[in-house]
Amino acid sequence: MNYDSEILFVLNEAGPKGLSIRKIAMHVFNRCNGLFDAISLEDVHRYVASYLMKNSKAPDSIIERTNMRGVYRLNLNNASDQLKFDFKDYVPEDADCVKTEEDGSLSLF
* pLDDT of 72: 93
Does residue 83 have a pLDDT over 70? no
Average pLDDT rounded to a whole number, residues 5-25: 91
* pLDDT of 86: 55
Residue 87: CB partners within 8 Å, gap ≥ 6? 12
- pLDDT band of residue 62 (cuts 50, 70, 90) is confident
Mean pLDDT estimate for the chain: 81
* pLDDT of 75: 86
| Per-residue burial over 27-51, b = 16 or more CB atoms within 10 Å of its CB, e = otherwise | bbbeeeeeeeeeeeeeebbebbbeb
Q: Which of 47, 61, 54 is nearest to 2 (CA)?
A: 47
Tell me which of 9-18, 31-40, 78-87 is least confident. Answer: 78-87
pTM (two decimals): 0.67
